Structure formats: C-alpha cells, structure tokens
Structure 1
Amino acid sequence: MKKLEEAVRSVEMEGLLWGASKLVAVGYGIKKLQIMLTIVDDLVSVDTLIEERLTVEPINEYVQSCDIVAFNKI
C-alpha cells in the first residue's frame, strides 16, 4: 500500500495539492487507499486527472479504480 500511495502522490499537475491519506477497510481483510486532494477547477480537470494520469503506466500497476467520495466546489 505504501508503493500505491507513492505512485499516486507522484502525479503532479499545476493546481493539484495532495492532502492526508488513510487506509479504509473494505471487507475480508481488503483495504483501499483514500486520499484527500485539492484542485484548482480552472487548472485541473478531474476527468483528465483520473483518465490520463491515474490509469496509465506505471501507476495502473497499483490503481484498479478511482472513486470520488466527496466533491465540494468553491
């Protein structure tokens, strides 16, 4: 899970700031990584972040899927 978090946090974009993280139990001993992040809406597209940065080589070796738990627009 440490390598997963390192891979995700290695993604850098102007207007993207990674925050706190935690492991959340899913069931049967399986855990998922949950990370808070802040984006500047005019600079970062959520779709671009997920489709072009988090689901491509080499990160897709660790990332199976991405879910948005909460979304606040300021």
Structure 2
Amino acid sequence: MNKRSKRYTKEFKMLILELLEDGRTKKSLENEYGVATATIRKWEKEFKGIIDKKYNANEALNEIMDLKRKLQQEMEKIKN
C-alpha cells in the first residue's frame, strides 16, 4: 500500500504557526487540526525568517504608534 503524505498550503502552515505564537501547544494543535507535532516543528524552522520579519515589523509599527500618541499629547499641552 502506498502511503501518501498530506499537503498543506502556506496559509494553513502560517495559521498553525500564528496559533502557536498565541500560546497554543503543539499537542493541542495536533489534536484539533491533525498535524503532527514533528511537522509543526519543521514548519517553525522553515518559516522562522518570515515570522521574525513579521513580528519585527509589528514591533516597529507599535513603536511608531506610541511615538505618534506622545506627540499628540505634547501638541495638546502646547495648545492649552
């Protein structure tokens, strides 16, 4: 009997990794989605660069938004 491996889309893989980043365990993801924990570890290695870039971009955006809020507060102080 020929055993075929499952094929997952990049979007599905990223969804699983985002859930993992949000605090889900590999075991819970395995139970819910049927993806082996070894496969999830493989995806972590495969997409590490993409995930790092995404979170670095989010951190930069958060810093910019914080600076914008501080600037707006300072502008309000000057007006009053």
Instruction: Please confirm whether the aligned pair reaches a TM-score higher than 0.5, indicating the same fold.
Output: no
Larger Rg: 2
Give the TM-score normalised by the residue count of structure 1. 0.31
* Structure with the larger helix share: 2
* Structure with the larger strand share: 1
